[in-house]
Copies of this chain bind each other. A is one copy, B any other.
Amino acid sequence: MAQKDTVERILDAAEALFAERGFAETSLRTITSTAGVNLAAVNYHFGSKKALIQAIFVRYLDPLADAVTEELNQAEADDKSLAISDLLMLLTRSVYKVHGHSARRITGFMRLLGLAYTQSQGHLRGYLGERYGSVFKRFVGLLRPACPELSDIDLFWNTHFALGAAVFTLSNQQALAAMLESDTGVNTDINQVVNRLIPFMTSGIKSHQDPASAQGAAQGYFNLPNESH
């Protein structure tokens, strides 16, 4: 075959376009015309637009889950206790293994992850949770002993805070870097952003509330009454 498979060309084009504009904002006609294939090809090969979206995530996440699993195996075999930053680097290493060193692919991947949360009325989130939940749980299992001073609930929220910081900034890395450059003249590539993210996430995950404010009232930060409809 002289050029790429039709299926692959659709996936490549759709991946880039979805990451750039979102799912609903990207039409099958745009996808197929940039891919250079016939309009009907998407429905023929994937069945529907929804299935195409899922296929893109599978192509991204299946190899990533494998890479993370491999890293986790090795880490557990070494049996050294890993610090939080070690685990974050393990994750970063896995992403690099899969996506190579392409800033475009990493940014795109993060944007898609972010979209999976915000858009796609939950059907995608449920699917991803089913398919990759076990790997995620295993990772958290290693994270657990790395911060013994935290409760499970502390750890849950801090982990998602950190995830949010990563997804949000990496998916908007280009725009943010451009903003910073216009202010300071300093250019920041995605590699540097990741290097900054790791200490941020590390100290953030370690953090916990004052016991006083955790009670909800007293001199703690804020306390809300129940929702008044």
- A153-B180, A156-B180 known; A222 vs B89 contact (CB < 8 Å): yes
- A156-B180, A216-B191 known; A225 vs B101 contact (CB < 8 Å): yes
Q: Flag whether A9 is at the interface (Cβ < 8 A).
A: no
State in angstroms the CA–CA spacing of A102 and B224 once bound together: 8
State in angstroms the CA–CA spacing of A146 and B194 once bound together: 24
Q: Flag whether A175 is at the interface (Cβ < 8 A).
A: yes
Most buried by B among A89, A169, A198, A224: A224
What is the interface residue range for chain A against chain B? 35 or more
Q: Which of B89, B103, B204, B225 contacts A201 (CB 8 A)?
A: B204
State in angstroms the CA–CA spacing of A213 and B122 once bound together: 39
Chain A binding surface SS class: helix
Q: Which of B22, B96, B169 contacts A164 (CB 8 A)?
A: B169
Q: Are A117 and B168 in contact (CB under 8 A)?
A: yes
- A164-B165, A165-B162 known; A222 vs B204 contact (CB < 8 Å): no
Q: Flag whether A32 is at the interface (Cβ < 8 A).
A: no
Q: Are B203 and A207 in contact (CB under 8 A)?
A: yes
In angstroms, how far is the closest chain B Cβ from the Cβ of A71?
A: 14
Q: Flag whether A67 is at the interface (Cβ < 8 A).
A: no
Q: Flag whether A208 is at the interface (Cβ < 8 A).
A: yes
